[in-house]
Structures are given as structure tokens and as C-alpha cells.
Copies of this chain bind each other. A is one copy, B any other.
Amino acid sequence: MAETLTATALTLKDIAREAGVSLATVDRVLHNRPGVRPDTVRRVQAAIERNSFQPHVAAAELARGRARRFAFVMPSGPNPFMQQIEAYLGEMSAWLSARRLSVEMVATDVFDPSVLAASLEALSGDYDGVAVVALDHPSVRAAINDLVDAGTKVVTLVSDVPSSRRHHYVGIDNIAAGRTAGALVGRLVGQRSGKVAIVAGSQGLRDHAERIFGFNQVMASEFPDLSVLPVLEGRDEDDRSEQVLARLLGRHADIVGLYNVGAGTQGVAKALSDAGRIDVVFVGHDVTVLTRRLLLQGVMDAAISQNPGHEARAAVRVLLALARGEPILREQEKIRIDIVMRDNLP
């Protein structure tokens, strides 16, 4: 009737006895310190495996003394999504300090590869882990690899750099997100035919590029009556997004759909309103105070949402697990894509 899910609680001492070696040797093996014969290493590891021994994480944490420091490298400027991530990290502060973890926010211009790379290089050595909203660019990739080589655990957040040796990516599958956006725009436009506009922050941000890719994929294959206009770049800024979109709306009277890939949503909405074009099907990202209002007003038709709280917490948990050498609960840290419309606003 009752079935237990955990092993018994052995200690290092038990493993030492099992393997017929001293505590010191087990310690050397566990932390792959030098000075142990390969044969002995194997014997110790066998004993660990055999008993599926797990070091007591609390004891390990206590013994190491120093606190762990993590840095979150995030875009400077007023990006609501990023502000939410910060806010959720703030809510964790009791949790963090009970574990003697410190999390520092580093604001930088993530749109400029050299600036971002320099910000990353500057962190080297000071931190146990770094979470970064990363532009996919060779110099950024190099900076990430340097951090990894220096022993720092690195996770990419929201936007990935898969060609780097980062340990983990915390964020959604952006191609799938783009596909979802495409399907939504297509379905919501309905029978009408016409043009579809795309506003992105930068095509250098991998998340944006991937979303655009997925979006175009769906548009091409499933909605041949809609033609997609060249991508506008608004650098996730309201003013800039508004300007470029306003100009486009002026030139094309037959725009029926709009996909806003990143931030700058306020500017996009303003351009639509000012042009009297709120009939345009408008799909964007993230549920914020602003997008919530736009959805309720009917200016925006759907938001593709990734839970920022989940991303913030997942990034911390993953960095911590990496630093401790614990396995990552992949299922837990996976970020899902949510479709939010007026009727199911959370």
C-alpha cells in the first residue's frame, strides 16, 4: 500500500568503507582532484553508483562557506517583460538569502554585440553563474565561451546562443512561438486577403529571428492569400517602432495583419490607433499591464506569453543546480508557450 521513492541515507564515510579507501580519497574522487589512481577512482565510483549515493546537499552547502553569486545580464531601458523578470527575482529574495545566494542585475545594451560581450567579459571570475539575454553574434558567443572556460555556469535567458557552450537555455521554443503567432494571425484575419507586417526588435536577437522564421513558415504554407512585408526593426523601443510602422501603414492600405515580435508594443499600438487601423489583426508577445489593456480594448487580438516569473525562477534554479553539480529537472524548467486572448487573461 505504501511505496517509498527514496534511497537510504548513506554518508561519505559509508562509501569510503564500501570502497575500502579513506574519506580523503572519496573526497578527491568526488571533486575530481588529482592524485588518485584510475583504478581507485573506478572503485569509488562503483561504490557510489551501487548505493546510488547522493551527497547531502545541505551539508555540502554549509561546508563550502562562501556564498554563491549569480548575475543577470539584462537589456537596459524600460522593457516591461524584463522588468517583470526583475520583479519576480525580487519576490524570491527571502528564498535567495535563506540559501545565501546573491543575484545581481547587470543592465547593458544587449543590441550591441561588442557592448554586450564586454559586459560579459567584465563578469569573469566574480560570479558562480550568469544568466544573459543574449544576442547571437560571434563576439557574444566568444564571451560566453570564455565565461564557461573560467568555470562560470552560463544560461541564456529568453534568447539563445546555441552555438556557444552555454550550459542551458531558459526560454521558449521561439520557432514554435512564431508558428503559433502565424497561425493566430491567419485564423483571426479569416477570409480577408492582404498584407501582413512584422515589427521586430532586431533580427540579430536570435529569439526574434526564430519567431520570424516560424511565423513566415506558417504564413507561407497555410495562408497563401496573405503576403508578408519585409521586417521592420524597432529595437524594442516605442518611439522607433511607432515611426517605422506609421510609415509602413501610410504606404500600404491593405495591411490586415501585424505581428509584433518583441517589445515596443506601446509604439506599435499608437501607430495603429493614430492611423485608425485597429481593425488590423494584431498579435504580439507577453502579458504586461500594457498588453492586458490593449487586449481588453480590442486593439490587440492575442498575446503569445511566456511566464516571466517561471523564467526568472527557472534561471536561478538551473544556475544553482549547475553550480552544485545536481541534475536539472528538465521537465520543471521547460518554459511553455501560452496563448492569451481577451477571454483567458490570467
**Which residues of A approach B to under 8 Å, CB–CB?**
1-7, 9, 52, 54-59, 61-62, 67, 71, 88-108, 180, 183, 309-310, 313, 326-327, 329, 331-332, 336, 338-339, 343-344, 346
Contacts and interface: CB of A to CB of B under 8 A. Distances in A.
B4 A102 contact: yes
A98 B61 CA distance: 11
Contacts of A183: 343
Contact of A1 (B57, B106, B313): B106
A193 to B, nearest CB: 22
Contacts of A327: 94-95
A117 to B, nearest CB: 16
Residue from A1, A91, A98, A329 having most chain B Cβ neighbours under 10 A:
A98
A102 B59 contact: no
Nearest to A9: B100
A25 B94 CA distance: 23
A3 B105 contact: yes
Contacts of A4: 102-104
A95 B62 contact: no
Given A2-B106, A54-B97, A58-B99, 14 more contacts: A2-B71, A6-B96, A6-B101, A7-B93, A9-B67, A9-B97, A55-B98, A57-B98, A57-B99, A95-B327, A310-B332, A336-B338, A338-B338, A339-B344
A100 B56 contact: yes
A5 B329 contact: no
Contacts of A339: 344
A97 B59 contact: no
Nearest to A326: B98
A6 B103 contact: yes
A326 B71 contact: no
